[in-house]
Amino acid sequence: MKLSNSFFQKRSMWGLGLAACAILFSAADGMAQNYVHGTTATLNNNATGTIRMRNASSQFRNFAAATTNIINTGTFEVLGNASGSVFTDGSGNAGGATALGTSGLMRIPGLVLYSNIGAAQTVQGRWYNNLQLSAASQKDYNAATVYVSGTYVVAGGNREYGSSTFIYDGSGAQTITGESGTSGNTNRYFNLFLQNGGAKTVAAATEVRVSEEFREEASNTATVTISGTLRSENITTQQAGAGVMSVDGASASLNLGSGTAGFAATNNVNLENGGTLNTSTGAATFAGASNVNNGLFNVTSTGLVTIGATGTLTLANAANAMITVTSGSQMDVTGAFANNYAAATNMNFNDASLVRYNGSAAQSIVSTVTTHPYGNLIVTSGTKTVGGDVYVSNNFAAYDNNLPMAANTLFMLDPTAGVTYGSGIEVVGRMNRTMTSGSPLTFNNENTIVTITGGSAPATMMFNVQPATAPNQFVATTDVNRKITVDYPTGGWLATIRAGYKSSDVPGAWTGAGTTENDVRFYEADGSQAEKMGTGSPYSRVTTGTVHYVELAGFRATSGTVDGLADAYFASTNDLLLRSGPTTFYTINHGRWSNPNTWDEGVEPGANDNAVVYHTVHVGYRRTGIDGLTANGQILEGYASGTKSALIRNVTIGDVADASLLFGSSSTGTTDEQTQNINWLITGTSGLINNRGGATINADAATLSGTFSSATLYNGLINFPTTGAGTGSLRVEQNLSNNGALSNGGLIEVGQ
Choose the final residue of a domain: 353, 379, 414. Answer: 414
Same domain for 648 and 538? no
Same domain for 67 and 92? yes
For residues 300 and 324, give the distance between their C-alpha atoms in angstroms, rounded to a whole number: 8
CB 11 within 8 A of CB 3: no
Kind and range of the H or E element at 11? helix 5-16
Q: Mean pLDDT over residues 231-254, rounded? A: 98
Is 676 a residue whose pLDDT tops 80?
Answer: no
Choose the final residue of a domain: 376, 398, 414. Answer: 414
Query: Which residue range forms the structural domain that includes residue 558?
Result: 466-579
Of residues 715 and 651, which shows the higher confidence score? 651
Is 297 a residue whose pLDDT tops 80?
Answer: yes
Render pLDDT for 299-325 as a digit per residue (tens, 0 to 9).
Answer: 999 999 999 999 999 999 999 999 999
Asked if the structure places residue 455 within a domain, the reply is no
Asked if the structure places residue 255 within a domain, the reply is no
Render pLDDT for 715-752 as a digit per residue (tens, 0 to 9).
Answer: 899 887 765 544 567 889 999 999 998 988 778 889 88
pLDDT, residue 712, reads 66
Same domain for 705 and 616? yes
Asked if the structure places residue 584 within a domain, the reply is no
Same domain for 337 and 477? no
* 421 Cβ contact list (under 8 Å, min separation 6): 397, 398, 399, 442, 445, 446
* 200 Cβ contact list (under 8 Å, min separation 6): 168, 173, 174, 175, 176, 194, 216, 220, 222, 223, 224, 225
Residue 583 amino acid letter:
T
187 half-sphere exposure, CB direction, 13 A CA radius:
13
Same domain for 110 and 181? no
CB 674 within 8 A of CB 658: no
pLDDT, residue 12, reads 34
For residues 633 and 639, give the distance between their C-alpha atoms in angstroms, rounded to a whole number: 15
pLDDT, residue 639, reads 44
CB 742 within 8 A of CB 690: yes
pLDDT, residue 84, reads 82
Predicted TM-score (pTM) of this structure:
0.87
Q: How many residues does the chain have?
A: 752
Of the candidates 336, 346, 338, the residue with the CA atom closest to the CA atom of residue 294: 346
Render pLDDT for 583-631 as a digit per residue (tens, 0 to 9).
Answer: 899 999 888 787 788 889 888 888 889 999 999 888 876 544 444 444 4
Task: Please state, as a whole number, how many other Cβ atoms lie within 10 Å of the Cβ of residue 735.
Answer: 15
Domain tally, the chain: 5
Average pLDDT, the chain: 89
Asked if the structure places residue 53 within a domain, the reply is yes
Asked if the structure places residue 262 within a domain, the reply is no
For residues 300 and 577, give the distance between their C-alpha atoms in angstroms, rounded to a whole number: 47
Range list of β-strands (E), 159-256: 159-160, 165-168, 174-175, 189-194, 200-202, 207-216, 224-226, 229-232, 235-238, 245-248, 253-255
Same domain for 638 and 514? no
The burial class, CB within 10 Å (0-12 / 13-18 / 19+), for 9 is exposed
pLDDT, residue 258, reads 97
Q: Which residues pair with 585 in a beta bridge?
A: 611
- Range scoring the smallest mean pLDDT among 304-308, 636-640, 662-666, 683-687: 636-640
Render pLDDT for 158-209 as a digit per residue (tens, 0 to 9).
Answer: 999 999 999 999 999 999 999 999 999 999 999 999 999 999 999 999 999 9
Choose the final residue of a domain: 517, 548, 579. Answer: 579
Same domain for 519 and 654? no
Task: Please state, as a whole number, how many other Cβ atoms lie within 10 Å of the Cβ of residue 645.
Answer: 13
Question: How much of the chain exceeds pLDDT 70, in percent?
Answer: 87
Is 273 a residue whose pLDDT tops 60?
Answer: yes
Same domain for 532 and 601? no
Asked if the structure places residue 82 within a domain, the reply is yes
pLDDT, residue 727, reads 56
pLDDT, residue 713, reads 74
Q: How confident is the model at residue 681 (pLDDT cuts 50, 70, 90)?
A: confident
- Strand 427-434 versus strand 460-467 pairing type: antiparallel
Q: Which residues pair with 494 in a beta bridge?
A: 454, 556
Q: Mean pLDDT over residues 692-715, rounded? A: 55
Render pLDDT for 397-436 as a digit per residue (tens, 0 to 9).
Answer: 999 999 999 999 999 999 999 999 999 999 999 999 999 9
Question: What is the residue-wise DSSP string for 680-714?
Answer: EEE-SSS-EEE---S---SSS-TT--SB--TT---
Question: How much of the chain exceeds pLDDT 90, in percent?
Answer: 74
Q: Which residues pair with 139 in a beta bridge?
A: 121, 159
- Strand 530-532 versus strand 521-525 pairing type: antiparallel
Q: Mean pLDDT over residues 256-264, rounded? A: 97
Q: How confident is the model at residue 28 (pLDDT cuts 50, 70, 90)?
A: very low
Same domain for 600 and 733? yes
Same domain for 571 and 599? no
* 454 Cβ contact list (under 8 Å, min separation 6): 437, 493, 494
Same domain for 168 and 155? no
Asked if the structure places residue 565 within a domain, the reply is yes
Dihedral of the CA atoms 139, 143, 148, 151 (nearest 10)? Answer: 20
Render pLDDT for 215-240 as a digit per residue (tens, 0 to 9).
Answer: 999 999 999 999 999 999 999 999 99
Same domain for 95 and 204? no
Asked if the structure places residue 730 within a domain, the reply is yes
